[in-house]
C-alpha cells in the first residue's frame, strides 16, 4: 500500500490531467457555438465537477495499490451537442482534439515545474513532475485511440460519410468492453505504449536542454 505522499504524487497530476481534459472539450465547444457544457458548469478547473467515482477514483486507486506499473482514468464526459457547433464536422474534430491537446499542454507545464524543482532541489515536486508528464502523455495517446467514445473516434466519425459514421458510432455501446478486452490481452502495450515512449524521449531531451 503506497504511503500518503506517494498517493498525492500520483493523484494530484491525474486529477489535473482529467479536469483540464474535460474542461478543454467544453471550452472549445462553447467557442464554436455549443454552450451546453458551460450551462451545466463543466467549463471549470474545479475537479469536483468532473469526477467520475469509477474512472477518476476507483480505477486509478486500484491500479496504484496493485502496483500495475501504469495509471490512467477518466472523468464524466462533458456534454456536447455537435449539432449546435457552427462549423459542423470540422468543429467536432476541434472539440475532440481539445482534450488530448490540453493533456500535451499540461505535460509541457509539468516539464517546466520539474525543471524548476530540480533547480531548487524539491524531490517531491520533481517526482510529481515526472508523473505529471507520464500521466498526461498516456491520457493524450489513450484518448486518441479510434474506439468510441474516445476522442479519436470523434475525429474518425467526423471524417466519414454520414451513413458510415452512424454505423461506426454504434460501436460506442461496446466501447468499454473493447477497452477492457484490449487491457486484458495487453493491447495497450502495442497501441499506446510505443507512442508514449516516443513522447517521453522528447520530453527527456527537452529536460536536458532546458534544465
- Whole-number Å distance between alpha carbons of 82 and 97: 14
- The pTM of the full predicted model, rounded to 2 decimals, is 0.90
Q: What confidence tens digit (pLDDT) does each residue in 77-134 have?
A: 888 888 898 888 899 999 999 999 999 999 999 999 999 999 999 999 999 999 999 9
Question: Does position 27 have pLDDT exceeding 80, yes or no?
Answer: yes
- Whole-number Å distance between alpha carbons of 117 and 123: 7
Q: What are phi and psi of 191, to 5 degrees?
A: -95, -35
- Whole-number Å distance between alpha carbons of 102 and 2: 29
Confidence class of residue 68 from pLDDT cuts 50, 70 and 90?
Answer: low
Question: Does position 44 have pLDDT exceeding 70, yes or no?
Answer: yes
Question: With left for phi above 0 and alpha for psi between -120 and 50, is residue 33 left, alpha or beta?
Answer: left
* 18, 74 contact by CB (below 8 A): yes
Q: Could you list the residue range(s) of the whole structural domain that residue 104 is in?
A: 4-210
Q: How many domains does the chain have?
A: 1
Tell me which residues are annotated as active site.
22
* 72, 63 contact by CB (below 8 A): yes
Lowest mean pLDDT among 4-18, 33-47, 50-64, 128-142: 50-64
Axis crossing angle, helix 151-159 with helix 88-120, rounded to the nearest 10: 150
Confidence class of residue 46 from pLDDT cuts 50, 70 and 90?
Answer: confident
Lowest mean pLDDT among 28-37, 50-59, 171-180, 185-194: 50-59
Q: What confidence tens digit (pLDDT) does each residue in 127-156 have?
A: 999 999 999 999 999 999 999 989 999 999
Q: What is the full DSSP assignment across 16-44?
A: HHHHHHHHHHHHHHHHTT--HHHHTT-SS
Query: Three-state SS for 57?
Result: helix
Confidence class of residue 61 from pLDDT cuts 50, 70 and 90?
Answer: confident
Q: What confidence tens digit (pLDDT) does each residue in 168-193 have?
A: 999 999 988 898 888 788 888 899 99
Question: Does position 1 have pLDDT exceeding 60, yes or no?
Answer: no
Quote the DSSP letter at residue 49: G
Question: Does position 10 have pLDDT exceeding 60, yes or no?
Answer: yes
Confidence class of residue 51 from pLDDT cuts 50, 70 and 90?
Answer: confident
Amino acid at each position: 500500500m503506497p504511503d500518503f505522499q506517494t498517493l498525492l504524487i500520483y493523484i494530484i497530476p491525474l486529477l489535473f490531467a482529467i479536469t483540464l481534459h474535460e474542461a478543454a472539450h467544453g471550452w472549445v465547444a462553447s467557442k464554436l457555438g455549443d454552450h451546453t457544457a458551460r450551462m451545466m458548469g463543466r467549463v471549470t478547473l474545479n475537479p469536483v465537477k468532473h469526477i467520475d467515482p469509477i474512472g477518476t477514483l476507483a480505477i486509478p486507486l486500484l491500479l496504484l495499490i496493485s502496483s500495475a506499473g501504469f495509471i490512467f482514468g477518466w472523468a464524466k464526459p462533458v456534454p456536447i451537442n455537435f449539432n449546435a457547433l457552427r462549423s459542423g464536422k470540422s468543429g467536432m474534430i476541434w472539440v475532440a482534439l481539445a482534450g488530448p491537446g490540453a493533456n500535451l499542454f499540461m505535460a509541457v507545464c509539468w516539464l517546466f515545474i520539474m525543471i524548476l524543482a530540480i533547480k531548487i532541489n524539491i524531490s517531491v515536486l520533481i517526482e510529481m513532475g515526472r508523473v505529471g508528464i507520464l500521466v498526461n502523455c498516456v491520457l493524450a495517446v489513450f484518448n486518441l485511440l479510434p474506439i468510441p467514445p474516445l476522442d479519436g473516434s470523434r475525429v474518425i466519425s467526423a471524417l466519414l460519410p454520414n451513413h458510415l459514421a452512424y454505423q461506426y458510432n454504434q460501436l460506442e455501446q461496446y466501447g468499454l468492453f473493447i477497452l477492457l478486452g484490449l487491457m486484458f490481452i495487453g493491447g495497450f502495450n502495442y497501441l499506446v505504449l510505443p507512442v508514449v515512449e516516443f513522447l517521453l524521449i522528447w520530453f527527456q531531451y527537452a529536460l536536458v536542454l532546458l534544465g
